[in-house]
Amino acid sequence: MNVLRNEACASSDQVSNWNSLDWNRCETEVRKLQVRIVKAQKECRHNKVKALQWMLTHSFYAKAMAVKRVTSNKGKNTAGVDHVLWGSPEAKIRAITELKKRGYKPQPLKRVHITKKNGKLRPLGIPTMKDRAMQALYLMALEPVSETIADNDSYGFRKTRNTADAVQQCYSVFAKKTSPQWVLEADIKGCFDHIDHDWLLEHIPTDRSMLRKWLKCGFVFNKELFMTDEGTPQGGIISPTLANMTLDGMQAMLSAKFRNIHKKSLGKQETIYPQVHLIRYADDFIVSGKTKEQLENEVLPLIKEFLLERGLTLSAEKTKITHIEEGFDFLGCNIRKYKGKFLTKPSKDNVKKLYEKVKSIIEANKTSTQKSLIRLLNPVISGWANHFKYTSASETFRYVDYLIYRKLWAWALRRHPKKGRWFISTKYFRTIGKRNWCFAVGTHDKGKAEVMSLKRAYETKIVRHVKIKKEANPFDPEWNDYFKKRETYKMFLKLDSKRTILFMWFRQNRVCPLCGEKIDCDSAWATTNLRIDGQVQRTLVHDSCHRRDIQLKLRLS
């Protein structure tokens, strides 16, 4: 045991330079302990789980990974109440040595507000860099447990799961002729802000003293300190996992109450299917039911009782019971049956939101060049279309393209008020292949004449999403082969038209040769020429590594 502890709690004296850290080894050592935590949890050896969690939170490798996480994500340039950022390699190395439980006291959160789509304000709490790193460290020890005991049909804020999985589960539940016809749309009122602290401290399997400090640290708003008696702050790294674990158990409760009943009638075996299924994404969830009365009189009271124990209540304005042929909005999609045919489309609110974003970009660039406008719009259009390519969105994509075309035509007319429509159409629109009215412009890149055109949403190929298996656990080694095949399939879908890049990815064993870390379908990458084993090869690298390599070569030259 002492040997293992010494190995896990390697001293930071081994490394004095942030850039010389071996991140592959850090990830491997953390992964080993997380695998052991999963094994102990599955065997219900809770004292062993606590011991392994202690080892992980005192490990140098885990501390380094925690500092790396908070200094490389989107919030790395947002400071807390202490106005401290870890920008330099020296500050990051020093931060690793400061992540200690003894004497640790979190500072209050910096309270800011963001506007929700209904016009109300959502409070966010921004911890300091040190508090974020400590939460990230203890989250590494908590996540293997939370993934092992989580509800199978919970898809929000979990590794390897996303909204497409939740929407595909809706298809599995509602698409058949014999599927349930009624849906309870539920939304928890201020979920993060009202979770009972006593319930969290009693049921969350992590260091209680650390959890109590984070829950009770308070927040600063308009230079005034406020105490926190309930809820877990939105903005904290560990908060989404705490919220998920608070709601875990709802599916098991409903399954136990509404299980299939087998009974004999007139000498024949008869099975009664209650058709009650839960699909949850964070604090938004739906429950299917056979009848409206079943959901209203049996399911809803159970859910209210379950939530009340945790200090939570349902939002009256957002909770309603709907027939599947009327349709309902869930995770930005409209889910509905049209004369018995199940279809999932982007919701009207989501289309409106995209149009408003495109409109604001066009109106803010009235005097910009056509090339600049195309560069600004393309990521927005392709990102939105890729998000909904797993739905029946072809018709919606065509409609979105029409709205954008109409706005661009108005943009072009404004630029040339004294010119005719034929002049404007030939200046800004072209025929590319069999496509007419393409918003495009000629460019000269490295002496080559090329055409830069605006992406159309309708160009995005509609594909059927393969839903993740319900029991899949990314921390359990039993599922390693499954996740590897799933990653390969996702990469194949993304690079189907770029077989050369796919070949590079396989040849490099899926890793970036510059940093040694994985390249996956969510990574931003670039291709460059590198000398490998004495030969210059075209290689796939992370986009950030590519830019860093170019800057290094410029400095050396």
Q: What is the pLDDT of residue 268?
A: 60
Residue 497, amino acid: S
What's CA 428's distance to the chain center, in Å? 37
φ, ψ at 502 (rounded to 5°): -60, -40
Q: What is the pLDDT of residue 12?
A: 44
H or E stretch at 264: strand 261-265
Residue owning tokens 């209210």 = 304
Of the candidates 158, 164, 332, the residue with the CA atom closest to the CA atom of residue 240: 158
Q: What is the pLDDT of residue 519?
A: 82
Q: What is the DSSP letter of 107?
A: P
CA-CA distance, 294 to 178, in Å (whole number)? 17
Residue 527, helix vs strand vs coil: strand
Burial tier of 125 (Cβ tally within 10 Å: 0-12, 13-18, 19+) = buried
pTM summary value = 0.87
Helix pair angle (23-42, 129-149), 10° resolution: 40
Q: What is the pLDDT of residue 72?
A: 87
- Residues 6 or more apart whose CB falls under 8 angstroms from that of 522 comprise none
CA-CA distance, 293 to 264, in Å (whole number)? 25
Q: What is the pLDDT of residue 5?
A: 44
Alpha helices in 150-249 (DSSP H): 163-174, 191-194, 197-203, 208-215, 239-247
Residue range 230-254, pLDDT digits in tens: 888 788 899 999 999 999 999 999 9
CA-CA distance, 146 to 240, in Å (whole number)? 11
Of the candidates 540, 501, 486, 496, the residue with the CA atom closest to the CA atom of residue 518: 540
SS (H, E, C) 326-341: CCEEECCEEEEEECCE
φ, ψ at 450 (rounded to 5°): -130, 170
φ, ψ at 280 (rounded to 5°): -125, 140
CA-CA distance, 541 to 557, in Å (whole number)? 22
Helix pair angle (129-149, 208-215), 10° resolution: 120
Residue range 188-208, pLDDT digits in tens: 988 888 899 999 999 999 999
Residue 255, amino acid: S
Contact predicate 324/337, CB 8 Å:
yes
Q: What is the pLDDT along the chain (557 residues), one digit of tens a residue?
A: 443 444 444 444 455 688 888 888 999 999 999 999 999 999 999 999 999 999 999 999 999 999 999 998 888 888 889 999 998 889 999 999 999 999 999 999 998 888 776 667 788 889 999 999 999 999 999 999 999 999 999 999 999 899 999 999 999 999 998 899 999 999 898 888 889 999 999 999 999 999 999 999 988 888 888 888 888 878 889 999 999 999 999 999 999 888 766 555 545 655 556 789 999 998 899 999 999 999 999 999 999 999 999 999 998 888 999 999 999 999 999 999 998 899 999 999 999 999 999 999 999 999 999 999 999 999 999 999 999 999 999 999 999 999 999 999 999 999 999 899 999 999 999 998 888 899 998 876 655 667 889 999 999 989 889 999 999 999 999 999 999 999 888 888 877 667 788 888 888 888 888 877 788 877 778 888 887 777 788 888 888 787 877 777 766 66
Q: What is the DSSP letter of 295?
A: I
H or E stretch at 280: strand 278-281
